Structure 1
Amino acid sequence: ATWSGFVYVAFVVDVFSRYIVGWRVLKSLQTDIVLDALEQALWARGKPRGVTHHSDRGSQYLSIRYTERLSEAGFHMSVGSVGDSYDNALAETINGLFKAEVIHRAGPWKGLDEVELATLTWVDWFNHRRILGPIGDMPPAEYENLYYQQTES
């Protein structure tokens, strides 16, 4: 909640490294928010192959526009079970961390621009400096770099 109404944030996360590859902040929880986050992820990753896109059953993720875009990108689609937060645990974790470390900690928020700037700052910090236990106590960018160094050797 902001002084000018609600805003929503969507993230696209690489499960391998936990790297946030796409995100978007909008005043509407329609398909555009997840489509924009997906487009940013596609731009950041180029043309990834063999990708499985997992989401919950939100109407945005099941919309015709979104599922068609996933198909165009060559992604396999995976959708979680109804009402099972464990089925989408990584997304729930990222959302929970974002809310705890940004939204609840720094509010109240004036509006979308303020949330968007805070999200940009947090995503950069998360990807490049936040230590994550599940990937060897290192930041996502470092984990990816290490992986690519090992596979190129």
Structure 2
Amino acid sequence: MWRHHLTPTAEGWLYLATVIDIASRRVVGWSTADHLRTELVADARTAACPQRRPAHPVIFHSDRGCQYTSRELASPAAELNVHLSVGRTGQRWDNALAASFFIIIKRELLDTNTWPSRAAARTAIFDFIEGWYNLHRLHNSLGYHSPAEYETALAA
């Protein structure tokens, strides 16, 4: 599942795009940039593929933004055996999981600080996702386990 968000810094906006595993709630790929072009989303997808190495086709669901529906994104997705899916206009449940993640990161990180630079915000986002959210943040939908704990239990 893909989604993006932005946060203000003293240097201007910083956009964050994520790829979230719907089963474990783990952020498996993410990217930041000073723009909201397709490259931002492609970079998040590129970051996710080595982590997951899907052996079977996967469905990649996103909202209807042009950065998600462009040919620039569709062609490499097909090569990776990723089937793109977009929600219907006005269907808020399609992206509820991603929206929930962005509410959490805003409430627990982005809205709690002022960011002097994009680099400072990017570093904090890295620490939040890779050091806190994926490894330690408990989710009631996962039986009060973190995404990493949930995946470990599934693998056992």
TM range (shorter): over 0.9
Partner Cα separation in structure 1 for residue 84 and residue 103 of structure 2: 24
Q: Contact 1:128 / 1:140 at 8 angstroms: preserved in 2?
A: yes
Q: Contact 1:31 / 1:66 at 8 angstroms: preserved in 2?
A: yes
Partner Cα separation in structure 1 for residue 84 and residue 17 of structure 2: 17
2:38 aligned partner:
31
Q: Contact 1:10 / 1:37 at 8 angstroms: preserved in 2?
A: yes
Partner Cα separation in structure 1 for residue 52 and residue 128 of structure 2: 20
Q: Contact 1:85 / 1:92 at 8 angstroms: preserved in 2?
A: no
1:84-103 paired onto structure 2 within 5 Å:
84-103=91-110
1:55 aligned partner:
62
For structure 2, the 5+ residue unaligned runs are 1-7
Partner Cα separation in structure 2 for residue 32 and residue 24 of structure 1: 9
2:27 aligned partner:
20
Matching residue within 98, 121, 127 for 2:127: 121
Higher helix share: 1
Using structure 1 for the length normalisation, give the TM-score.
0.93
Partner Cα separation in structure 2 for residue 93 and residue 144 of structure 1: 19
Matching residue within 85, 94, 97 for 1:78: 85
Higher strand share: 2
**Structure 1 letter corresponding to 2:82:** F
Deviation, 1:100, is 1.2
Is 1:2 paired with 2:25?
A: no
1:109 aligned partner:
115
Using structure 2 for the length normalisation, give the TM-score.
0.91
For structure 1, the 5+ residue unaligned runs are none
Instruction: Identify which range, 96-105 or 45-54, moves more after superposition.
Output: 45-54
1:69 aligned partner:
76
**Structure 1 letter corresponding to 2:108:** E
Deviation, 1:105, is 1.1
Residues 87-118 of structure 1 deviation map (CA, whole Å, 9 limit, x = unaligned): 21111111111111111012x11121011101
